[in-house]
C-alpha cells in the first residue's frame, strides 16, 4: 500500500507529542503536520492530499467536531480524546475509530490496522452489479463476484461514498451510499437507526435509547435524529 498521509490536531502539547511518537512508529504513516489549532490544520488540508485526521475533540475556539465537518473530504477520521461521553456522537461525523486518552501503543497499533484495512477496501470496492431471486445479491470484489444472501446481512455501515455490508461471515464494501442502498427493494427489511448504520430487524436482540444490541453481542449506536425509527423494529 502507498504511504498514508496524516495530520494531528490537538491543543494539548503533551498529548500531541504522544500521538506524534506513536505515528512515527509506523513507516506507512506519513505525518504532514501536527497542529494545536483549527486554522493551520484546515489550511494544509485544503492544499495537500490527507488520508487520515487524528483529532482531539475538546479544544478552545473550534471543537474537533467542527474541524471534522470542515475537513469532510479527508476519508479517515480518528478521534483521540479524554472524554468517552463523546463516543456515540462521534459516529455522526464519519469517524473510523474513537480512542480514549491516554493513548496506548497497542491500542494505536489496532487503529493503524483498521485504517489500512479501510483504505484497502475503499480502493478495491466496486458497486454490486446484479441480483438473482429475492434474497441474493452479487457483490463485485476485484475481478470476482461474491454471492451474498440478504438474510445473512446483520447491518450496513456508511463509509462516506461506500457502504460496508456486514454478514455473519464477512464484511463486504460496495461503492454506493447507505441512503441509495436503502432505497433498493432488496433492503426493505433494514431500518436506519443512525446516520452511519442500518440494521436488519430480525437480528435485533435488545433496544436501548442510545444503542441497540444485535445477535452475536454487536452494539450499534442510535442517532438522535433516528430515534423515531426504533418503532419500526418492534
Domains of the chain listed by start with CATH number = 4-123 (3.40.50.2300), 125-232 (2.40.50.1020)
Out of 25-29, 58-62, 120-124, 173-177, least confident range: 120-124
As a whole-number percent, the residues of the chain with pLDDT over 90 amount to 54
Which of 103, 151, 158, 86 is CA-nearest to residue 125?
Answer: 158
- Which of 78-87, 106-115, 126-135, 197-206 comes out lowest in average pLDDT? 126-135
Name residue 140's beta-bridge partners.
145
141-164 tens-digit pLDDT: 666 778 888 888 999 999 877 888
Question: What confidence tens digit (pLDDT) does each residue in 57-89 have?
Answer: 999 889 999 999 999 889 999 999 999 999 888
Phi and psi (nearest 5°) for 70? -75, -20
Residue 143 has which C-alpha cell?
Answer: 475481478
| Spatial separation of the C-alpha atoms in residues 98 and 90, rounded to whole Å | 8
What pTM value is reported for the model? Answer: 0.58
pLDDT score, position 124: 64
pLDDT at residue 136 is higher than 90: no
Closest Cα to residue 66, out of 45, 94, 38?
A: 38
Report the alpha-carbon distance of residue 29 to residue 99 in Å, rounded: 18
Q: How many residues does this entry show for the chain? A: 234
Considering the chain, what is the average pLDDT of its residues? Answer: 88
Amino acid at each position: 500500500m502507498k504511504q498514508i498521509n496524516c495530520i494531528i490536531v490537538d491543543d494539548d502539547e503533551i498529548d500531541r507529542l504522544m500521538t506524534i511518537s506513536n505515528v512515527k512508529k509506523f513507516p506507512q504513516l506519513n505525518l504532514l503536520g501536527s497542529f494545536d489549532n483549527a486554522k493551520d490544520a484546515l489550511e494544509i488540508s485544503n492544499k495537500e492530499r490527507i488520508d487520515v485526521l487524528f483529532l482531539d475533540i475538546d479544544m478552545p475556539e473550534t471543537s474537533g467536531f467542527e474541524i471534522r465537518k470542515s475537513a469532510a473530504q479527508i476519508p479517515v477520521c480518528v478521534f483521540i480524546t479524554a472524554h468517552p461521553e463523546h463516543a456515540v456522537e462521534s459516529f455522526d461525523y464519519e469517524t473510523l475509530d474513537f480512542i480514549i486518552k491516554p493513548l496506548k501503543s497497542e491500542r494505536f497499533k489496532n487503529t493503524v490496522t483498521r485504517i489500512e484495512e479501510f483504505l484497502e477496501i475503499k480502493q478495491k470496492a466496486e458497486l454490486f452489479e446484479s441480483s438473482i431471486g429475492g434474497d441474493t445479491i452479487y457483490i463485485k470484489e476485484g475481478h470476482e463476484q461474491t454471492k451474498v444472501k440478504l438474510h445473512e446481512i446483520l447491518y450496513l455501515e456508511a463509509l462516506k461514498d461506500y457502504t460496508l455490508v456486514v454478514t455473519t461471515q464477512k464484511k463486504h464494501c460496495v461503492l454506493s451510499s447507505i441512503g441509495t442502498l436503502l432505497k433498493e427493494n432488496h433492503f426493505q427489511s433494514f431500518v436506519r437507526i443512525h446516520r452511519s448504520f442500518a440494521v436488519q430487524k430480525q437480528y435485533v436482540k435488545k433496544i436501548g435509547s442510545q444503542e441497540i444490541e444485535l445477535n452475536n453481542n454487536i452494539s450499534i449506536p442510535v442517532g438522535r435524529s433516528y430515534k423515531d425509527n426504533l418503532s419500526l423494529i418492534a
